[in-house]
Amino acid sequence: MKLIPCGFVLVVALAAGPAFATPPAPAPLPAWDQLSPAQRDLVIAPLRDRWNADPQVRARLFQHAQRWQQLTPEQRARMRHGMGKWEHMDPQQRETMRALFHKMRDLTPGQRTALREQWRKMTPEQRRAWVDGNRPPAD
Amino acid sequence: MSDYKRPPRAGVVSDDDFDRALRARHRDAAASLSPRVQAQLQQRLRALRMPAALPRQRHPAWGLALACSLALVVVVGIHRRATGDLPGTPVAATSNPDANELVATLDEAPDLYLWLASDDANNMLSE
Amino acid sequence: MPSANANAATAVPIVPAAPEGWPTAATAGEAAAATLEQFLSGVSARAFRFAELGLRQREDALDAVQDAMMRMLGYRERPAAEWTPLFWSILRRRIVDLQRRSAFRLRWLQPAPAHAEGDGQFDWMDDGPDPSRRQDSQEAYARMATALSALPRRQREAFSLRVLEELDVAQTAQAMGCSEGSVKTHLSRARDTLKRQLEDFR
């Protein structure tokens, strides 16, 4: 299964440090449920770090994980697509999209249309000013 | 008010009447909780959404469910790498950013990513 | 910089009528979540009273209700029609668990937590619009609750669920984990006892 080996290699590379240039071909790894606890811990390690580093973010991470659980397979596929776009965005674009998203989710459909129209007419400077004035809460 | 056909003998009450009377007392009682208990119930209901705020956690299963949820989402992040959803990004060894991106799966609301996948977001980004 | 990369597809932007995948466009999952929380909110006071009858202790009753609500989150995808018997089934079992624990505590560790005297046994609001009426209500409930608490557990469960919570026979049987026939037996015995003890039920 292509899925786990790449991730496993990735994490092994992380663990070994930047000098590790050419990872050896790993033994084929099974599905998640067949991994040993030690292997799972290895894969989870970055998330575990993040979780432990900051108590304030935990509720948010957890809530996002719960929401993910609710998504249908089609929605999850769309979500992955959206994550692909996110990763190609620079920080300013991400800030912009976060601000727009958090603003729009509280609007009625009519208000969203109005905002879209307004947005289309704004200059880049006006858009930056709008984002500054509409920073989302820490979520 | 009563729905039985003949008046009851002294001391004999129909089941319906009896049930109705006790139901009424029960309804009163449910509406007469102390402020403290009412507040506790509301707080504990709200706390269901935010595990850090739970007054009590009894279940080891709770922690397990959490770990499974988070693990699943991270596996999704790994899967995206493996299936080449990120063109031009080989599995590189330098990869602190890679670790960040694995956990970035949870940083934002899933609905943000859902929206980004839509034409709507596309349009607003591109102008 | 990556502005051009970020969106591969757009030529002429067309604003769609409704943006795709908006969370507030009530995806099924979120609608279910909101309603489940509404369900739990609506049932919480009665759930507390049910737990209080079985546990006779405010903190334990709150804990039982909270545990049941937490477990119900796992069932949010089930049809809403199933929530009622499911919730009471879960709550009933939590109460039994807590009863066993408190019985153990009583026997081996320390005396039972002291109950307040008289009417203070069952939680009640301190002030209401009409003090004399409140006291009547409180006393009436205290008598009923004392009688219910004294019943054998299965009889109390059957009466509480079937009569006070108005579950139908099938739902009650599901919540109690027994047959419909058993529900009827427990219920009629409960009623006989309660009628004898609560002569002044009016």
> Taking CA atoms, what residue in B is nearest to A66?
B69
Over range C136-154, report the average pLDDT.
93
Please calculate the CA angle B25-B27-B33 and round it to the nearest 5 degrees: 100
Residue A51 or residue C65, greater confidence: C65
pLDDT per residue as tens digits for the range C152-180: 999 999 999 999 999 999 999 999 999 99
pLDDT per residue as tens digits for the range C37-95: 889 998 999 999 999 999 998 999 999 999 999 999 888 888 888 899 999 999 999 99
Q: Decide if C3 and A93 are in contact by the 8 Å CB cutoff.
A: yes
Where among C55, C83, C112 does a domain terminate? C112
Residue B99 has pLDDT above 60, yes or no: no
**Helices (H) then strands (E): counts for chain B:** 6, 0
Q: Decide if C29 and A67 are in contact by the 8 Å CB cutoff.
A: yes
Domain membership of residue C155 (yes or no) is yes
Q: Which of C14, C15, C78 to mutate to test the interface with A (most CBs of A within 10 A)?
A: C15
Which residues are CB-contacts of B65 (< 8 A; sequence separation ≥ 6)?
Answer: C74
**pLDDT band at A66; cut points 50, 70, 90:** confident
Residue C25 has pLDDT above 50, yes or no: no
Q: State the total domains in chain C.
A: 2
Å between B86 CA and nearest CA of chain C = 12
**What's the token pair of residue B116?**
């980004």
CA dist B35 and B37 (Å) reads 6
Average pLDDT, chain B: 68
Model-level ipTM above the cut of 0.85? no
Å between B107 CA and nearest CA of chain A = 6
Where among C48, C78, C112 does a domain terminate? C112
Q: Which domain holds residue C154?
A: 131-202
Which residues are CB-contacts of B78 (< 8 A; sequence separation ≥ 6)?
Answer: A3, A4, A6, A7, A10, A43, B102
Are residue C84 and residue C151 in the same domain, yes or no? no
pLDDT per residue as tens digits for the range A18-42: 444 555 555 678 888 888 989 888 8
Å between C12 CA and nearest CA of chain A = 13
pLDDT of residue B85: 45
**Does residue C19 sit in helix, strand or coil?**
coil
pLDDT per residue as tens digits for the range C124-140: 987 766 777 778 889 89
Instruction: Please write down the long-range contacts of A94-100, taking CB distance under 8 Å and 24 or more positions apart.
Output: A95/A131, A96/A127, A96/A131, A96/B125, A97/B112, A97/B116, A97/B121, A97/B124, A97/B125, A98/A136, A98/B108, A98/B112, A99/A130, A99/A131, A99/A134, A99/A135, A99/A136, A100/A131, A100/B121, A100/B124
> Taking CA atoms, what residue in C is nearest to B46?
C37
Domain membership of residue C3 (yes or no) is no
Q: Decide if A119 and B69 are in contact by the 8 Å CB cutoff.
A: no
CATH of the domain at C162: 1.10.10.10
On chain C, the residues whose CB falls within 8 A of the CB of A71 are 27, 29
